[in-house]
Chain A
Amino acid sequence: MNRLEWLDTATKKILFRPDRKAVRKELEAHLEDLREASGLDEETAVASMGDPAALAEELSRLHRPWWGYLWRASQIVLAGTAVFCCLLAVLAEAVCQPLDRLGTSLHNYLTPVQFTGALEERDIPAGMTISTGGCTIRADRAVLRSYEDTSQALFVDLQIGLSWRREPLILQNAWSGARTNAGEIPRRVIERSASWAFWQRACLSVEVPEDAEWVELDFGCGAWRRTLHIDLTEEAEP
């Protein structure tokens, strides 16, 4: 039996090809070392390596193919995922769209709302904070604006700390009610809402009757319902 036949026989039961190649290479190197060290000819050296069939059995037991196959499959999954992500990214303009959205969010988040047309403005002390559903909602600033038609509206700037999930509040749903000492406020307006990373800023406005002493804004429902109380009789220090 020559060297190649011996190597073929010894490794033929290793089913996973990369393993088979590696073992074959190692056996070949071992054979070369033996020949060089002992000065034997090829046939004698091969014979001294032992029975290749028995070795094949032993090697097949040592080199089960399943983890190798799974590794190959995972390579295919990884490559497939990479291609899928590339396609997805191209389809959704992954480069432009998120950057654009990021820029717009930051711009909206940083730009204050401008209001015009009010005859008089009065700052109300705010600063109350409520926590619910993993968020904290703080009334940053409240301004009572009076208009020519004698109506008045309360504008409240909210600073919302989002949960670790960075999910901005859907204020149309999350802002569940508003009332004054005179009763429920039917008309509620979300003037602005913008989020950036872990924060969301919003400006809400409600029409309040002239004799209103306080305004309460409800957020959430059920066990998550919390109320922000704003006292209209106090005036903020300049």
Chain B
Amino acid sequence: MKKKRAPRPYWVKFLRNLAAAFLLLAIVWDLLDMSLPTTAEFRRLERQSLAPPSEIAAAVPTGDPFAPKVLIGLGQGWAVAGAPYPLSSTLSDLDVYPLSDGPALIPLPQTVARPDNAGHPQFYAAYAALCPPSDAARAVLTLHNEDGDFMVEGVREGAVFLFYARPAPDSAGRVSIGRSWFQPELFTYELAFYDGQDNLMQEITG
């Protein structure tokens, strides 16, 4: 007579089910080439760009539920700015910028939303001033692109200054932020740093 197998203990069944669920999810995730959580996806983009893992200097909320943050990473001689899409790796974007000594300005690869006075989100092109002078209290960016000239005050965010700018709305009240706001070869700028007494410390152009 065939011996009846003793039932497996519940803890074995519990672990087996969890492992099966995880495996199933991992297979489907990989098959669909799904993305990873924001920071892991950012690291993946870095690896794919042959950039060693950088130190994340700032995480800028975008207001976009599909790409919730733009991450800015600093390495020894380079910087990366990436907009990882946790639900679709094909949309994720990362730019690598070589850095020399001193401050540098990079555009963020995606628009970011900031609330206006009424609390409604408004979209802006954003820029990060990296490696500012250590005792800089203020930074002012003057940007020139095909939409005109813009002067914006920087917002300190950890080790970087962030700038938010956008063109004036058209007659219908719409704001369209074109390529000339994001591609470094399509805009020029002057970036000035001031100390606590409002004395000019350093100015760079690009």
Q: Which residues of A contact B (CB under 8 A)?
A: 67-68, 70-71, 73-75, 77-78, 80-82, 84-85, 88-89, 92, 94, 97-98, 101, 132-135, 163, 165, 167-170, 173-174, 176, 219-224
Contacts and interface: CB of A to CB of B under 8 A. Distances in A.
B18 interface: yes
Interface in B17-76: 17-18, 20-21, 24-25, 28, 31-33, 44-45, 47-52, 75-76
Query: 6 tightest CB-CB pairs across the interface, nearest first?
Result: A220-B50, A173-B49, A74-B17, A67-B10, A81-B21, A174-B50
Nearest to A137: B50
Nearest to B80: A173
Given A97-B32, A173-B95, 4 more contacts: A73-B14, A88-B28, A94-B31, A222-B77
Measured as residues with beta carbon below 8 angstroms from the partner, the interface class of chain B is 20 to 34
Q: Which of B48, B50, B78, B94 has the most CB of A within 10 A?
A: B50
B20 A78 contact: yes
B119 interface: no
Nearest to B11: A67
8 contacts: A78-B20, A78-B24, A133-B50, A134-B47, A163-B47, A167-B44, A221-B52, A224-B51
A179 to B, nearest CB: 14
A77 to B, nearest CB: 5
Contacts of A219: 50
